[in-house]
Structure 1
Amino acid sequence: MSPVTPLGDPLDRSPDKPTHQLVRERLEDLVRQGVYEPGSQLPGEPEIAAALGVSRMTANRAILALVADGVLERAKGKGTFVSQSPRAPLGLRRVVGVANEDPSYAWEDFYFGVLLSSLSRACQSEGLEFSVLDRLHPSLDQIDDSTGVVLIAFPHHQQTVARELADRAGRVVALGCSWDDFPWPTVDSDNILGAGLAIEHLAGLGHRDIAYVGAFPEDSNTQDRWRGYEVQMQLRGLTPYRPLFFSRMDGSDEGTDGQVMDLLTGPRPPTAIFAAGAEVALRITSLARRLDIRLPLDLSIVAYDEPSYFSLIEPAMTTIRQPLREMAENALQILLRDRTPPPGMVVRHAPTLVVQASTAPVHP
């Protein structure tokens, strides 16, 4: 009979997780439960490997990962010890995404869907569980210090909910929003730069009357895109238009529909529009066709984002492409890597301009 050790029974292998991750989680549990207290020595690698039914190489890989995380410390010639620092965080077991939308809708939406699916794939490659919580009614009992929380496009007025999640979670990162007073590290696209690329492109085609139409003005991305538009117009000696914002994108915002149509037929009709969202661009295209305004002969459009359904419309849409997958992967790496990221740290990824057929030189 094998001797009983604090390490517990041999591991049950899982096809969904690498064995070294299972070893790491077992050791983390023992530290969390106080079986091995701060400063206490762990058994040697041969004993850990034998007790858990794994190879010494697998045990070594798990231990090195916990040393890198600050959970364990190694003393040359003496062995492996639990870190003395009470602030040393345990490694993550799971990641939850909290999107600024109902979860069922978020998976279907282009922007949220790409971020969520990219997070899910990245977590899977790291052996981490991933789930999505309802931002309005989050299940706080799913959050503990082995959980990383990703706040996706989180609205400023929901900071109370965000702080409740952060108080329970091991680590927090914001993704797809840039609020100056957020106390958590943030990964976002450079929306000011993206707006600048759109205006630079349109101005280079000879357009001087360039309007801005967005959606959801309380959103940080919308505010940054408006700021970038306004600054770039002024730098070129062009007069910015008053911004128009849709509050709904299901075709029921008749008030904004009317304002856009008034804009297109008014005393100063734009020859180009910077549409600060993909659905905004679709709505403008529909309204323009209703007025027999031809794209791009009479009106050029640059849209933010390029969902797959853009391939179904004519003319092909010129877009500002955000590196959404890279943003999501970067957010996860911050959760995994950074122990104490600087307060208010913001990592901004550069978007790119993709020129298609919806923009053309201004018609004389």
Structure 2
Amino acid sequence: MKMSDVAKMANVSPATVSRVLSNPELVSKKTRDKVLEVINQVNYQPHIVARQFRTKETKTILAVVPDITSAFFSEVLRGIEHTAIREGYQVILGDTENSVERENDYINLLLQKQVDGMLLLTARLEKEKLEELAEHFPIVLACEYIDGLNVPTVSIDNISAARKATEHLIKLGHERVAHICGPMNVILGRDRLRGFRQAMMSHDLDVDPSYIQEGGNESLESGYNQMMKLLALETPPTGVFVYNDEMAMGAMKAVKNSGLRIPEDIAIVGFDNLKMASVVEPHLTSIDQPKYKIGQKAMSILIQKINKEKITKQSFVMKDHLFIRQSCGGQSFVSSSEQKT
């Protein structure tokens, strides 16, 4: 079934059918209803490739994530997908598996105009290359970021959030506080370590180098292994801030396997507030990122870029919350941070 067949059955021109599909507001309601009735009757589907040749648009965007197995990104992608569908776009997904080479491969799809724009949920490329691409193609970063990058970015303030998580342990009376880091080749790992150090220094607490353990990756196994190293110290910490929830759950397993109690012997704070944080025993205190809203906002900005609308600023910093649960002791409640722009 071709557009010309639909036009013939509705007794209108093919151009009118095209307008009904792409700009329905330009067609009278009577004609629009008549054309839509035929389209529904014959189940007509527009030819995507033909439309791309006519409009130079694919109505498709590419979302690139560093690790599709991470539970964190599922909620971000849901926000992206729902916003895209509402605006008439479809989303294709690229998983780099934390590889810069794979990230470059996906950028080629943008260069070949196979997609209208790209959402990068990872920022491992050089700053100069991203800025050069953004001069010619719609690009938005989300979750990760690059300092001073002249490309729209949606994220939380990871330094402030990490400082808040660490200060929660300090305010509970912990002086021997450790940090299980994420990979230092990722800006999130570096910024959360900075927030930890800032909190310790502002409370005049020494940062023992042995209390900082870098995870080789962001997995349960990594959290488990780094916590075992902390427990093997002659004077182990009494509180631990962990880079993310998945690693924190691995750390909790290490504590339990060592015959210790949470939070009586060691208090633990995670980051990301995954759904499992309120399921594990004891429930995990964690920094919540507004994952769905980050996806929504990033997709909305990308559509603005595709439509060549003016973006008033480059950095969009979303509000985070500290969900206080049983892993630190005390009463459960939510502590909010101030939103920054």
Q: Give the TM-score normalised by the residue count of structure 2.
A: 0.73
1:358 alignment partner, SS class: helix
Q: Distance in 2 between matches of 1:153 and 1:175?
A: 7
Task: Confirm or deny that 1:321 pairs with 2:321.
Answer: no
- Does residue 94 (structure 1) correspond to residue 57 (structure 2)? The answer is no
CA distance in 2, matches of 1:349, 1:233: 24
CA RMSD of aligned residues (A): 3.5
- CA shift, 1:198, in A, is 0.8
Which structure: greater helix fraction? 2
Q: 1:49 aligns with which of 16, 27, 48?
A: 27
Write out per-residue CA displacement over residues 162-203 of structure 1, whole angstroms, 9 at most, x where no aligned residue.
57864763x111001121143311000111121122122111
Deviation, structure 1 residue 322: 0.6
Match of 1:212, SS?
A: strand
- Give the aligned residue type for 2:65: A
Distance, in Å, in 2 between the alignment partners of 1:265 and 1:110 is 30
Residues of 2 paired with 1:249 and 1:175: CA distance? Answer: 18
After superposition, give the CA deviation of every residue in 1:25-72 in whole Å (9 maximum; x if it has no partner). x9xxxxxxxxxxxxxxxxxx8xx52699427xx9xxxxxxxxxxxxxx
Q: Using a 3 Å threshold, how does the CA distance of structure 1 residues 348 and 133 change in structure 2: closer, same or farther? A: same
Q: Deviations over 1:188-242 (max 9, x none)?
A: 0111121122122111111111111022221222211111111111011111243
* 1:215 paired residue among 182, 187, 191: 182
Alpha-carbon distance in 2 for matches of 1:118, 1:305: 16
Q: Is the 1:196–1:229 Cα contact (8 Å) retained in structure 2?
A: yes
Unaligned runs of 5+ in 1: 12-18, 27-44, 59-89
Considering only CA atoms, is the larger Rg found in Structure 1 or Structure 2?
1
SS at match of 1:10: helix
Q: Is the 8 A contact 1:302 1:318 kept in 2?
A: yes
Q: How does 1:83-122 map to 2 (within 5 A)?
A: 93-101=59-67, 106=68, 108-122=69-83
The whole-number CA distance in structure 1 between the counterparts of 2:269 and 2:134 is: 37
Partner SS, residue 240 of structure 2: strand
Tell me if structure 2 keeps the 8 A contact 1:195–1:226.
yes
The answer on 1:198 being equivalent to 2:172 is no
Superposition map of 1:215-364 within 5 A = 215-242=182-209, 243-250=212-219, 259-337=226-304, 339-341=309-311, 345-360=314-329
| Equivalent pairs, count | 290
Distance 1:288 1:212 in 2: 15
Counterpart check, 1:183 vs 2:121? no
Relative to structure 1, is the Cα distance of residues 209 and 305 closer, same or farther in structure 2, using a 3 angstrom cutoff?
A: same
Relative to structure 1, the CA distance from residue 165 to residue 116 in structure 2 (aligned partners, 3 Å threshold; closer, same or farther) is farther
CA–CA distance in structure 2, aligned partners of residues 139 and 227 of structure 1:
31
CA distance in 2, matches of 1:145, 1:259: 43
Q: Percent identity?
A: 23
Counterpart in 1 of 2:42? none
- 1:74-104: CA deviations, max 9, x gaps? xxxxxxxxxxxxxxxx988232101123xxx
2:89 is matched with 128
For 1:336 and 1:178, how far apart are their aligned partners in 2?
Answer: 19
Rate the CA distance shift 1:294–1:324 in 2: closer, same or farther, 3 A: same
> CA contact under 8 A between 1:306 and 1:321: conserved in structure 2?
yes
Q: Write the letter of the residue equivalent to 1:244.
A: Q
Aligned residue type for 1:227 = R
1:23 counterpart = 2:30: no
Residues of 2 paired with 1:159 and 1:293: CA distance?
Answer: 49
CA distance in 2, matches of 1:133, 1:158: 20
- Once residues 252 and 294 of structure 1 are traced to their aligned partners in structure 2, the CA distance between those partners, rounded to angstroms, is 19
